[in-house]
Amino acid sequence: MTRYTSATDADLEAMLGAIGVGAVDDLFAEIPADLRLGRALDLPAGLSETECFDHLASLAERNADADAELCFLGAGIYDHYVPAIVDAITQRSEFLTPYTPYQPEVSQGGLQVMFEFQTAISELTALPVSNASLYEGPSSVASAAYLAIGATGRTRLVVSRGLHPHSRETLRTYARGFSAEVVEVGLEGGLTDVAELRDALDSEAAAVFVENPNFLGAVEDLRALASAATEAGALTVASVDPLTLGVLRPPGDCGVEIAVGEGQQLGGRLDFGGPSFGFFCATENHLRRMPGRIAGETVDLDGRRGFVLALQTREQHIRRERATHNICTSQALNALGGIVYLAWLGKRGIVELGELLARRMAYARQRLAEIDGVELLHEAPAVREFAVRLDAPVPAVLDRVAEEGIAAGYWLGREYPEYDDGLLIALTERRSKADIDRLADALARAIAETAAVDGLLPDSGKKPSMAGEVGA
Amino acid sequence: MKPSVPLTPPTNAETPTPQQRERATTIFERSVAGRRAGTLPPLDVPERPLDELIPRELLRDRQPELPEVSEPEIVRHYNRLSRRNFDLDTGPYPLGSCTMKHNPRLNERVAALPGHARLHPAQDPRRAQGALELMWRLERALAEICGLEHVSLQPSAGSHGELAGLLLTRAYHEDQGERRTRVLTPDTAHGTNPASVTMAGYEVVKVATDERGGVDLEDLRAKLDERVACLMLTNPNTLGVFDERIAEITQLVRDAGGTLYYDGANLNAIMGHTRPGDMGFDIVHVNLHKSFSQPHGGGGPGAGPIAVSDRIEPFLPVPRLVRSEDADGAAPRFDFDHERPKSIGRLRGFAGNFGVFVRSYAYIRSLGGDGLAEASETAVLNANYLLARMKQGSAGRFLPVAFDRLCMHEFVLSGAPARRELGVKTLDVAKRLLDFGFHPPTIYFPLLVDEALMVEPTETETKEGLDALADAFEQILAEAERDSEIARSAPYTTPVRRLDEAKASRRPVVRQPL
């Protein structure tokens, strides 16, 4: 037997006897012989716990993680501190190992967590209804398109180029199923071009999709964007960074009908991009079209306060092909981490964090702009992330600073040919002034050296080889 | 230690338990102005007024009302809440189609290693080779288990894999210059199947189930034509029975030009015994949070990787993981490839739920090929043993099996006789099981079985645990023969009793007013 099973020979004999067959293999008799595998799976033999641990540890060692480097990478996933209580609470068996709360009488813990999570996210976004989580950011954006198409009967999706490239790509993937057309609106000075947006809006536009702060870190004027959408009878979907909502005007106060986003910032690990959670909030009139689980408050037979999965008739297990979404398993445990984090940060902390980030951002922008060969990519206001242009090939500069143990940022040329010289730099409360200074000094050296080497090459316009680079 | 006959729990609600006497209080209600838990590093740059950095009109006027609570209060609050949950680490959880098997703690430990948990997804792949190699090895293992060569780990859950599979089908047909509009699903299908079909822009056409619980071939033939894009199937299906005519079924659909989609929710029955690819399927999703031990977390996270056939491969989501080997015998290199012109595109951000991949990979390496095959054998053994027990006594009389044949890893009972003869519905039996310390089976699914109970014990339950579960059913039914009111008003011992679900949907309160 394996270490996770327990049928002894005596058990086996008794159980087969009760079933009335002679061998376990007889239980597989209904699988036709020509479909039986008839051999062992071609996989390595099982490992003891120590061997397995050592093997996984040796793989982990070959990754340069955010403890091994000074990490200024962002692009939607951020290296915030994860409080110890988040790990302690999310690792409790009672939260870690139950299924979706189909039996509310024995799931009050999980259901109340959902209710508290919904309250916190609704409060942050200033929109009255929130679900209990979706998979993650970009697929939540695509899910908002499904709602918008259903709610408006229109099939044109107008998307700002400031929306995360992964969200735009995911939206395009899903849009093929919705038979929807995706139209992109460009950026001007780092911000969504409102005039171009107005031109793109017509009577077929179901929704406008924007991000705040946008992918370049710029704080958009959500009210202006939403008002353009509203005038055309389209909904506004804003993908927002929840950690900036202590300071930024929330989508619900800007005329936005649907706010979605990535929740990793709220107590989530980096985890190489997942699992995290997505959130989905809306105005009250869209409640019955919302995707995913929603917990609601009610009472039991004796009048005690309790919580249940509300409005289940929206969902796939009841409504099947007429469901508002196909989602079943979502990200409940990560959403628990999110509410614990928000309770830890608290009412004052979320404001203080936003202020700290914005002030360090101002310092970092100023400090980097002083470097020879660096200029700001845009002058728009920013909170936690900003973009610069380098007067040297970005991938080569990144390689140089990586040698000094710094992950300097995200190369915008991966997804924006127009910003081939662009670098996106993210801050969290873990990146101090001293860290910013270290980044600035390293970048200055790397640019000088790279530019010098570049200048010596006969074909100095040519980018260095990008073998092994994502998106090259 | 043999807990054969469970002790009888209370049969009425006269004496509330301590938990029942405690009013549910939210973290917001514990808030007291001025308290806090987290503190931040001090400001180390000039303290400039915020509205000097960001224009006033873009700033928030009113602070969000997050709780103000100290750390000890947060810990107490969530620990107390956790005790209002039933969980797999505490007791049996025979929830059909959910594969509630043990979640090894080793997997949590390796997922938490800094090299995994602290790795940024935008890290240069050259400096994340361990992560890419882990994903590569997991892809290869899933390809072998499924009998399909090409794998994408990207989908975030089973339903996400289904949507991917249908978008792949659409891309495949469009590439052939075809436009097909319908997808066939059996009437026993999981609810996600038809919901995914609609999201992918297809029309659902139901296929009937025959008297043995398999696909009704005549109905299938009648519905197969040039409009059919795909057949989505689970095998063993949601009745827990293996459709022995599966090769004929897949051939019929293939001949009609459709693709074959395998819902891998029930893969735990067949690992190392038979493979969806060998049955003729093109696309399989694998629920890592079912067969491969990722904890369910009260509703996620999971992951729903897909394995596909050669004809579907060009359309797989980007980025694809690629491995290259230099001729000089150096270690292989791993990378992400975004340049796949026929790809359906992305399904989400970055490369998927990597933390889930780590846990499931650790599980696969812990068991090895033989261990996985044994896991499936034991899962099937446990289900058949429990079924044999359930065929006896009052259970056999009032909760007969829906399709009387060998089952695979789960089986479906019908509570119709219990309702008719005892006045006790499946819901009542389920609620009374809670008082005995068991999580009930899945109820009222599949839809074609009247008063259905769908039972999946999994391989990690002991024989004693299965006996105790069968004994509890027996005792509940014996009790109901004497006094059906006991079950009808159950449960009595849980933190709350039956809840008014209609109220919660009629006048929904989905957040706390602050």
Same domain membership, residue A428 and residue A311: no
Q: How many CB atoms lie within 10 A of CB B303?
A: 33
Residue A154 belongs to some domain of the structure: yes
Report the residue of chain A nearest B102, measured CA to CA: A4
Tokens of B353: 């739920």
Tokens of A433: 């002034």
* pLDDT score of A128: 98
Backbone angles phi, psi at B393, to 5 degrees: 55, -150
Give the residue from B59, B87, B447 with the most A CB atoms within 10 Å of its CB, the best one to mutate. B87
Same domain membership, residue A235 and residue A105: yes
Encode pLDDT of A187-214 as tens digits. 999 999 999 999 999 999 999 999 999 9
* 3-class DSSP state of B371: helix
Give A-chain residues touching B72 at CB under 8 angstroms.
none
Residue A51 belongs to some domain of the structure: no
| Upstream peptide bond of B446 is cis (omega within 30 degrees of 0) | yes
Same domain membership, residue A376 and residue A293: no
> B326 falls in which pLDDT band (50, 70, 90)?
confident
* pLDDT score of A455: 57
Give the residue from B123, B212, B296, B411 with the most A CB atoms within 10 Å of its CB, the best one to mutate. B123
* pLDDT score of B37: 98
With CB atoms and an 8 Å threshold, state whether A468 touches B78: no
Same domain membership, residue A184 and residue A330: yes
* pLDDT score of A453: 72
Encode pLDDT of B78-118 as tens digits. 999 999 999 999 999 999 999 999 999 999 999 999 999 99
Same domain membership, residue A319 and residue A284: yes
- Shortest distance between the Cα of B417 and any Cα of chain A, in A, equals 23
Same domain membership, residue A429 and residue A311: no
Tokens of A417: 């040919």
Residue A420 CA, chain-centre distance (Å), reads 24
Same domain membership, residue A335 and residue A429: no
From the list A1, A18, A347, the residue facing B65 with the nearest CB is A347
CATH number for the domain harbouring residue A170: 3.40.640.10
Q: Which residues contact B14 (CB under 8 A, 6 or more apart)?
A: none
Give the residue from B14, B17, B58, B471 with the most A CB atoms within 10 Å of its CB, the best one to mutate. B58
CATH number for the domain harbouring residue A427: 3.90.1150.10
Give the whole-angstrom CA distance, residue A442 versus residue A448: 10
Query: Can you give the three-state secondary structure of B325-349, one letter per residue?
Result: CCCCCCCCEEEEECCCCCCCCCCCC
pLDDT mean over B364-393: 97
Residue A287 belongs to some domain of the structure: yes
* pLDDT score of A471: 36
Nearest to A225 by CA among A163, A287, A170: A163
- Shortest distance between the Cα of B345 and any Cα of chain A, in A, equals 6
Nearest to B32 by CA among B73, B78, B76, B75: B73
Task: Point out the residues of chain A with pLDDT beneath 70.
Answer: 454-472
> B356 falls in which pLDDT band (50, 70, 90)?
very high
In chain A, how many domains are there? 2
Tokens of B434: 């809670």
Sequence spans of domains, chain B: 25-82, 148-362
Same domain membership, residue A353 and residue A209: no
Cβ-contact B274, A37 below 8 angstroms? yes
With CB atoms and an 8 Å threshold, state whether A329 touches B299: yes
B368 Ramachandran zone, left/alpha/beta (phi>0; psi -120 to 50): left
With CB atoms and an 8 Å threshold, state whether A316 touches B194: yes
* pLDDT score of A47: 98
From the list B43, B460, B501, the residue facing A298 with the nearest CB is B501
Same domain membership, residue A407 and residue A318: no
Cβ-contact B435, B74 below 8 angstroms? no
Same domain membership, residue A183 and residue A167: yes
Give A-chain residues touching B103 at CB under 8 angstroms.
96-97
Burial class (CB in 10 A: 0-12, 13-18, 19+), B412: buried
Residue range of the domain that includes A397: 347-452
With CB atoms and an 8 Å threshold, state whether B504 touches A308: yes
Give B-chain residues touching A287 at CB under 8 angstroms.
508, 510
Cβ-contact B346, A170 below 8 angstroms? yes
* Share of residues in chain B with pLDDT > 90 (%): 94
Residue A383 belongs to some domain of the structure: yes
Backbone angles phi, psi at A355, to 5 degrees: -65, -45
Report the residue of chain B nearest A59, measured CA to CA: B130
Same domain membership, residue A397 and residue A426: yes
Last residue of a domain, one of A340, A357, A388: A340
Find tokens 């079933």 and name the residue. Answer: A19
Residue A27 belongs to some domain of the structure: no
Cite the beta strand spans of A162-271 per DSSP E.
Answer: 181-185, 187-188, 191-192, 205-212, 235-240, 258-262
Question: CA distances (Å), B460 to each of A58, A112, B342, in order?
Answer: 29, 29, 42
CA dihedral defined by B38, B41, B46, B52, rounded to 10 degrees? -30
Same domain membership, residue A312 and residue A204: yes
Give A-chain residues touching B489 at CB under 8 angstroms.
301
| H-helix segments, A183-331 | 194-200, 222-231, 316-319
Tokens of A317: 């297990």
- Shortest distance between the Cα of B20 and any Cα of chain A, in A, equals 8
From the list A306, A317, A358, the residue facing B191 with the nearest CB is A317
pLDDT mean over B283-311: 98
From the list A2, A275, A287, the residue facing B371 with the nearest CB is A2
Tokens of B131: 């992560």
* pLDDT score of A463: 40
* pLDDT score of A457: 44
Encode pLDDT of B32-68 as tens digits. 999 999 999 999 999 999 999 999 999 999 999 999 9
Cite the beta strand spans of B34-152 per DSSP E.
Answer: 150-152
CATH code of the domain made up of B148-362: 3.40.640.10
Beta bridge partners of residue A296, listed in sequence order: A308
Q: ipTM score of the complex? A: 0.97
* pLDDT score of B4: 55
With CB atoms and an 8 Å threshold, state whether A1 touches B374: yes
The amino acid occupying position A119 is T
